Structure 1
Amino acid sequence: MAMINRVVTLCCIASFTSAASYSQVRDLYNSLLINYTSNIRPVLDQTKAINVDIDVMLHSINLFDEVSGKLSMSGIFRFSWTDELLQWNPMSANGISSMMFTTSQVWVPNVFIGNGVDQTNIFKPSDSIEISYTREGSASLRFFQIFDVVCQAGMTYYPNDIHTCKIEMAQMTNLDLVNLTSSKGIILTAYYSNLIWNVESTTMENVIVGRQSKAMFYITIGRRPTFIFLTLVLPIIALNYVNLLVFFIPTDSGERISYSITVLLTFTVYLSVYSDKVPPLSLPIGIFSVSMLIKLFTSCLISLSCIVISRISYYQEDYPVPSTLQKLTASFRRNRKIRSSLKTPARQNSTVDVVETMCNTREAETLSRDENRSQPSTPVTVVWKEVVDFLDKLCLVLFTLTSTVETVVCLILIITRH
Structure 2
Amino acid sequence: MAPWILRFAVFLLSCFLCQQEAQCLDEVLRLRTSLLEKYQKSIRPVRDYRDGITVHLNVALRQITDLDEKNQVLKTFCWLRVYWKDEYLAWNETEYGGISSIMFPSREIWIPDIYLYNNVDEQSDGGLQPGTNVKVTSEGEVSWLTPSSFTSSCKIDIGPFPYDDQNCLLHFGSWTHTGIQVDLQNVSDAADLSDFADNGEWWLLGMPVRREEKFYSCCPEPYPNLKFSINLRRRPMFYFFNLVLPCLILLLINPLVFYLPPDSGERMGFCMTILLALVVFLQLVSESLPKTSDNIPLIGKFFAGTIFLLGLTAMANIIILHLYYRRPGSKAVPPVIRKIFLVYLAKIFCVTKASDCDEKEKDEKDGPEAFKISNPFVDVTQMFPFGGSAPNSPEPGSRDYGTWDCSGRVRRKEPPRVTFNLEAMQTNSLIYLKEILRSVNVIVKDIKEQRADENVELEWRDVAMILDRVALFFVIMATVGLSMAILLFSGL
TM-score by length of 1: 0.82
- Summarize deviations over 1:302-325 as a string: whole Å, max 9, x none: 111111211111114653112232
| Correspondence 1:233 to 2:244 | yes
| Correspondence 1:404 to 2:416 | no
Say which SS state the counterpart of residue 70 (structure 2) adopts.
Answer: coil
Which amino acid in structure 2 is aligned with residue 332 of structure 1?
Answer: L
Cα distance change, pair 338–101 in 1 and its aligned pair in 2 (3 A): closer
Name which of 308, 318, 333 aligns with 1:321. Answer: 333
Cα distance change, pair 145–268 in 1 and its aligned pair in 2 (3 A): same
- Summarize deviations over 1:88-144 as a string: whole Å, max 9, x none: 12122111000111122110001110001112333333xx42100111111011111
Q: 165-174 or 324-333: which moved more?
A: 324-333
Say which SS state the counterpart of residue 143 (structure 1) adopts.
Answer: strand
Alignment of 1:47-62 (within 5 A): 47-62=50-65
Q: Distance in 2 between matches of 1:42 and 1:405?
A: 68
CA contact (8 A) 1:201 1:221 kept: yes
Q: Runs (4+) of structure 1 moved beyond 4 Å?
A: 336-339
Q: Distance in 1 between matches of 2:200 and 2:472?
A: 41
Q: Distance in 2 between matches of 1:307 and 1:138?
A: 82
Cα distance change, pair 289–255 in 1 and its aligned pair in 2 (3 A): same
Percentage identity across paired residues of the two chains: 27
Q: CA deviation at 1:336?
A: 4.6
Q: CA deviation at 1:410?
A: 2.6
| Correspondence 1:250 to 2:276 | no
| Correspondence 1:175 to 2:178 | yes
Say which SS state the counterpart of residue 166 (structure 1) adopts.
Answer: strand
Report the counterpart of residue 120 of structure 1 in structure 2: 125
Cα distance change, pair 332–54 in 1 and its aligned pair in 2 (3 A): same
Report the counterpart of residue 284 of structure 2 in structure 1: 273
Report the counterpart of residue 211 of structure 2 in structure 1: 206
Q: Distance in 2 between matches of 1:337 and 1:197?
A: 52
| Correspondence 1:394 to 2:470 | yes
Say which SS state the counterpart of residue 142 (structure 2) adopts.
Answer: strand
- Summarize deviations over 1:148-194 as a string: whole Å, max 9, x none: 11001111111111100101101112223111111124210110000
Alignment of 1:278-357 (within 5 A): 278-316=289-327, 319=330, 320-329=332-341, 330-336=343-349
| Correspondence 1:158 to 2:161 | yes
Report the counterpart of residue 259 of structure 1 in structure 2: 270
Aligned residues: 357
Unaligned runs of 5+ in 2: 1-19, 216-221, 353-454
CA contact (8 A) 1:164 1:220 kept: yes
Unaligned runs of 5+ in 1: 1-17, 340-379
Cα distance change, pair 147–24 in 1 and its aligned pair in 2 (3 A): same
Which amino acid in structure 2 is aligned with residue 122 of structure 1?
Answer: G
Q: Which has the larger radius of gyration?
A: 2
Q: CA deviation at 1:338?
A: 10
| Correspondence 1:186 to 2:191 | yes
Report the counterpart of residue 218 of structure 2 in structure 1: none
Say which SS state the counterpart of residue 383 (structure 1) adopts.
Answer: helix
Q: CA deviation at 1:301?
A: 1.3
Which amino acid in structure 1 is aligned with residue 460 of structure 2?
Answer: W
Q: CA deviation at 1:253?
A: 0.6
Q: Distance in 1 between matches of 2:286 and 2:133?
A: 47
CA contact (8 A) 1:170 1:215 kept: yes
Which amino acid in structure 2 is aligned with residue 325 of structure 1?
Answer: I
